[in-house]
Amino acid sequence: MNEAIKVGVIGLGTVGQGVLRLLKDNADEITRRVGRPLRVTYASVRDPNKPRDCDLSGVTTVADPMQIARDADVDLIVEAIGGISPARELIETAVGRGISVVTANKALIAEDGNRIFDAARQTGASVAFEAAVAGGIPVIKAVREGLAGNRVERLAGIINGTCNYILTQMQEKGTSFDEALRDAQRLGYAEADPTFDIEGMDSAHKLTILASIAFGVPLDYASVSVEGITKVTPQDIQIAQVFGYRIKLLGIAKRHATGVELCVHPTLVSEKAMIAKVDGVLNSVVVHGNAVGEVGFYGRGAGGDATASAVVADLCDLARTLGVDARHAVPPLAFQPEAVQPLPVMAMADVPSAFYLRLLVADEPGVLSKLTTILAAHDISVEAILQREPHGEDDATVALITSVIPQHRFDHALTEMRALPFVREDAARLRVEKFE
């Protein structure tokens, strides 16, 4: 039962390298979750001399990917070369001999998924593709399983980080589309030939997949109406803002009385909507189910590590079905029962945090100096401070935010501050938490 699950990785580009890194770096966590280690035993590389950002020790590298698909002694295969051919032939060969495949290949799934799934069904193999849509956001799983009780009425998403970065730049800096695109290319967010992203085809591939799992319709890329972002002007972004809107490239799948709407186009969304606030290279998908209402997801939609996160999640799902009783495929607490282990829970006094402090003080000279001297003596920096003049009373309000420090250090300083004759009883101390 604790034998390693052998994984073959076809293609060692950004995604393939990310998968190897992740399986190595998080080996302990993954084994605790799955119950068996996942080990890459084979990898195919086009150029064996190219330097790679992953450890290939213990991995047999081959030049011909078909060798892995057809012959290699592996339990699961990751297809990470992208494109339609030979990726399709490789996957069909692998599932043909009963080996399940994980892929991040949205073009292939959107265009040829129906036949690939049929091929897999013949042998009982699976083809998993969480990484094909919205990178690391587990949106396929959420819609397919987490919202399985719902009739999905609408699904809409920012599913191309390149376009979202360009539109965000145009919004924030007032730059033209061309300038923003060059900027994205310089930062590596857009390819040298950006057509596929900026003309909306990449979003359309992802929308095709999302629509299928939302509505239970066959994959049908050709039926999606597509409009890219090349004609969006700074002027329109600016006028939309005056109306209280942002312009985002959305993929939309929606039920109507007479059929479904499937489209990708630049769209005005109210600045108050959560999806309007998803900026830069982030992706976001919003699903409206008839029971759950609106549920939203956001996160990194691209990049080797975020994509590898989704690939490895699929590997874990498939690994759990190899030789284990289906009922126990996913343990209740995510980790195998024998791997659930306590960790020391820190006393709050030891937990580092930035702190917000509000004090009521007598309005007299030297107050700020005495307070800040105490903070300095405890090696606490002040990140922001505000003093308000008293209105009608003799007391003034001082509020500040500190650097990140263990709570006990802050509390010692607070005790000293409270002992100062000019500090009143009323005070508030709250923690500050940072997010990306």
Catalytic residues: 206
CB of 47 to a copy of itself, least distance (A): 25
Sheet holding 352-362, edge to edge: 382-388, 395-402, 352-362, 405-406
- Angle between helix 367-377 and helix 407-418 axes, rounded to 10 deg: 150
Of 45-53, 61-69, 126-134, 192-200, which segment contacts a copy of itself by CB under 8 A? 126-134
Question: Which residue do the tokens 């539109």 mark?
Answer: 167
Q: Which residues are annotated as a binding site for NADPH?
A: 106
Q: What residue type is 193 in one-letter code?
A: D
Residues 229-268 that bind a copy of itself (CB under 8 A): 231-233, 235-236, 239-240, 242-243, 245, 247, 250, 252, 256, 258-263, 265-268
Residue with tokens 């036949």: 115
Residue closer to a copy of itself by CB (options 67, 154) is 154
313 belongs to the binding site for a copy of itself (CB under 8 A): yes
Which of 326/419 has CB closer to a copy of itself? 326
In 3D space, the residue among 61, 58, 55, 59 whose CA is nearest the CA of residue 24 turns out to be: 55
Rounded CA-CA distance 344/409 in Å is 21
Q: Among residues 1, 192, 326, 419, which is the contact residue for a copy of itself, using CB under 8 A?
A: 326
The answer for residues whose C-beta is within 8 angstroms of residue 174's C-beta and 6 or more apart is 234, 238
To the nearest whole angstrom, how small is the minimum distance from the Cβ of residue 58 to a copy of itself?
19
| Per CB under 8 A, 324 contacts a copy of itself | yes
The residue count for the chain: 436
Name the CA radius of gyration of the chain, rounded. Answer: 27
Residues 166 and 154: their CA atoms lie apart, in Å, by 26
H/E element, 359: strand 352-362
Q: Which of 97, 115, 121, 173 touches a copy of itself (CB under 8 A)?
A: 121
Residue 177, interface with a copy of itself (CB under 8 A)?
A: no
Report the residue from 49, 327, 393, 419 that binds a copy of itself according to the rule CB under 8 A: 327
- Among positions 136-165, residues that touch a copy of itself (CB under 8 A) are 136-138, 141-151, 156
Interface of this chain with a copy of itself, residues 181 to 200, rule: CB under 8 A: none
What is the bridge-based pairing of β-strands 60-62 and 282-289? unpaired
Under rule CB under 8 A, residue 376 binds a copy of itself: no
Residue 315 within binding range of a copy of itself, rule CB under 8 A: yes
Taking Cα atoms as reference points, which of 410, 430, 425 lies closest to residue 361? 425
Q: Does 308 bind a copy of itself (CB under 8 A)?
A: yes
Task: Report the residue number, 328 or 418, with the smaller CB distance to a copy of itself.
Answer: 328
- Annotated binding residues: 106, 191
Q: Does 1 bind a copy of itself (CB under 8 A)?
A: no
Among the listed residues 290, 373, 381, 415, the single contact to a copy of itself using CB under 8 A: 290
Binding mask 7-36 for a copy of itself (x = CB under 8 A): -----------x---xx-xx--xx-xxx--
Minimum CB separation of residue 77 from a copy of itself in Å reads 15
CB of 146 to a copy of itself, least distance (A): 2
Site for a copy of itself in 70-99 (CB under 8 A): none
What is the rounded CA–CA span in Å between residue 282 and residue 293?
Answer: 23
Measured CA to CA in angstroms, residue 372 lies from 136, 387, 398, 404, 412 at distances of: 44, 13, 11, 16, 14
Query: How distant is the alpha carbon of residue 406 from its chain centre?
Result: 30
Number of CB atoms found within 10 A of residue 36's CB: 20
Question: Within 392-421, which residues bind a copy of itself (CB under 8 A)?
Answer: 397, 399, 401
